[in-house]
Amino acid sequence: MHSIWTRANAVFAFTLSVLAAMTFAAFLTTAFNDNIAPVVIKSSNAQVKNVPNYSANRAKNDLASLNFDIQVDVSPVFNWNVKQLFLYLVAEYSTPLNPLNQVVLWDKIILRGDSPVVDVSSANPKYYFWDDGNGLLGNDNVTLVLRWNVIPNAGYLPLVQASGSHTVRFPSNYITGKF
Amino acid sequence: MNVRRFIYRVLKFAMNISTLLMIYKGLMVVTRSEHPIAVVLREGMEPALYNGDLLFLTNYQEDPIRTGEIIVFKLEGKEIPNVSRVIKVHERQNGTSKFLTKGDNNQVDDRGLYPPGQLWLTRKDVVGRAKGYVPYVGMVTILLNDYPKLKYPALVGLYFLIRRLCKYWASFILHFIPLDVDFDLN
């Protein structure tokens, strides 16, 4: 009647049910958090040049360079259902060709247990800041914002924008040579 | 075992299977993605997503793709879809956009993975965007792919699991609908 297999099966099924219920509870308790934290972004030394983009279509596109500072403390975002934060700095701007452009300049992975304080000063972009065309020259409304993707232990994967942004004005002359 | 009992069993099994199928197809309608559930099979998104993690995807066409999203895309000539993060978006006036992806664990963007001549992804390449995440659950499918002989015990296990779930659902639903049917699914 109650063989070892029926017992093992019952224990296994019950374990699975409990794990599923706990996972769902973890999701429910954290799904409605706003996950926001304030950030301070600064920048300097904005420059543009017009060079062929060999990683894409080889046409002459605007390539920008700038130095930026980021100060943010993401400890309020971490709760019991956060495995990792993926922080990324986005340059958002519009050009006559594309009303919306988003280019990720920098990113950082913060795992649970890592220091939640990010203090980056006068850093260079981690990825090339190429425009799709020639829309960066003289563009005086390039907004830098910091966003993060919250990776839970299990549950919803929200994208959040930190409160605080910074506007970069690019000069109206191309530079030649190196940045 | 008489004929009536045999037919009853067959029907019960068919109903269990079709319930699962209906749930999956229902998910496809609700999420508008042809793959509402996906298993991670690559290392490109570690440490966020590991092999065998399960992703829940949606694919609402009116919702524009933005940087930072984890998307699943299928490339021409490739069997297995890729999971990656959007790092560049350029959107035209008419709403069409092109975007570039990069895996968190990769040093360079995914252009090398795209078919020759393709520099950007467009909306039609996207199978779904990751909205939910559960770790480890997809491990079963990976095990089944790596060790095909496990399929038979797994099928038996799946059968019992479905039976169990259907029993719960049936008793739950019948609790509210006073049907005059014998629904004994023990």
B184 in contact with A, Cβ within 8 Å: no
pLDDT over threshold 50, residue B183: no
Cβ distance B131 to A57 less than 8 Å, yes or no, reads no
* Residue A20 Cα distances to A118, A160, B17, B160, B182, angstroms: 35, 27, 22, 17, 30
**How many angstroms separate the first and last alpha carbons of chain B?**
16
> Residues of chain A whose C-beta is under 8 A from some C-beta in B?
13, 23, 27, 55-57, 83-84, 86, 88, 90, 97-104, 107, 109, 111, 127, 132, 147-149, 151-157, 159
- Residue B180 counted as domain residue: no
- Residue B183 counted as domain residue: no
Predicted confidence at residue B185, as pLDDT, reads 46
B25-34: list long-range contacts, CB under 8 Å, 24+ apart.
Answer: B31/B56, B31/B57, B31/B58, B31/B59, B31/B128, B32/B58, B32/B59, B32/B60, B32/B61, B33/B57, B33/B58, B33/B59, B33/B127, B33/B128, B34/B59, B34/B127
Predicted confidence at residue B181, as pLDDT, reads 47
Distance, in Å, from the CA atom of A30 to the CA atom of B184, rounded to the nearest integer, reads 39
User: A8-22: buried (b, 16+ CB within 10 Å) or exposed (e) per residue?
Assistant: eeeeeeeeeeeeeee
Cβ distance B68 to A159 less than 8 Å, yes or no, reads yes
Cβ distance A86 to B104 less than 8 Å, yes or no, reads yes
Check: CB of residue B183 under 8 Å from CB of residue B174. Answer: yes
**pLDDT, averaged across chain B:** 85
List pLDDT tens digits, range A58-86.
889 999 999 999 999 999 999 999 999 99
Predicted confidence at residue A163, as pLDDT, reads 95
Taking contacts as CB-CB distances below 8 angstroms, the residues of chain A near B48 are: 83-84, 86, 109, 149, 151
pLDDT over threshold 50, residue B182: no
Residues B167 and B145 in one domain: yes
Residues B1 and B14 in one domain: yes
Instruction: Measure CB to CB from residue A102 to each of B89, B104, B164 and give the nearest one.
Output: B89
Predicted confidence at residue B176, as pLDDT, reads 58
Mean local confidence (pLDDT), A146-173: 95
Give, as one character, the DSSP assignment of residue A9.
Answer: H
Cβ distance A55 to B68 less than 8 Å, yes or no, reads no
pLDDT over 90 percentage in chain A: 84
**pLDDT, averaged across chain A:** 93
Residues B26 and B43 in one domain: no
pLDDT over threshold 90, residue A56: no
Structural domains of chain B, count: 3
Q: A126 to chain B nearest CA, in Å?
A: 10
B169 in contact with A, Cβ within 8 Å: no
Mean local confidence (pLDDT), A140-157: 96
pLDDT over threshold 90, residue B162: no
Predicted confidence at residue B111, as pLDDT, reads 92
Residues B6 and B43 in one domain: no
Residues B155 and B127 in one domain: no
Residues B79 and B104 in one domain: yes
B17 vs B81, more confident: B81
**CATH number of the domain residue B58 falls in:** 2.10.109.10
Give, as one character, the DSSP assignment of residue A125.
Answer: P
Check: CB of residue B45 under 8 Å from CB of residue B29. Answer: no
Residues B113 and B62 in one domain: yes
- Residue B184 counted as domain residue: no
- Residue B186 counted as domain residue: no
Residues B56 and B84 in one domain: yes
- Within chain A, strands assigned E span 39-52, 60-73, 84-93, 100-111, 117-123, 129-130, 142-151, 155-156, 159-168
Residue of A nearest to B130 (CA): A157
Residues B143 and B130 in one domain: no
Mean local confidence (pLDDT), B141-160: 77
Predicted confidence at residue B86, as pLDDT, reads 97
Q: Which of A126, A135, A82 is nearest to B87 (CA)?
A: A126
Helix (H), strand (E), coil (C) string for chain B? CCHHHHHHHHHHHHHHHHHHHHHHHHHHHHHCCCCCEEECCCCCCCCCCCCCCEEEEECCCCCCCCCCCEEEECCCCCCCCEEEEEEEEEECCCCCEEEEEECCCCCCCHHHCCCCCCCCEEHHHEEEEEEEEECCCCHHHHHHHHCHHHHHHHHHHHHHHHHHHHHHHHHHHHHHCCCCCCCCCC
B92 in contact with A, Cβ within 8 Å: yes
Predicted confidence at residue B1, as pLDDT, reads 64
A131 vs B9, more confident: A131
pLDDT over threshold 80, residue B163: no
Residues B46 and B120 in one domain: yes
Residues B88 and B162 in one domain: no
Among A147-151, B16-20, B50-54, B142-146, which range has the highest average pLDDT?
A147-151
Check: CB of residue A91 under 8 Å from CB of residue A105. Answer: yes
pLDDT over threshold 80, residue A91: yes
pLDDT over threshold 80, residue B168: no
ipTM of the complex: 0.91
**Residue recorded with tokens 């309020």:** A76
Predicted confidence at residue B78, as pLDDT, reads 87
Tell me which residue range forms the domain holding B9: 1-31
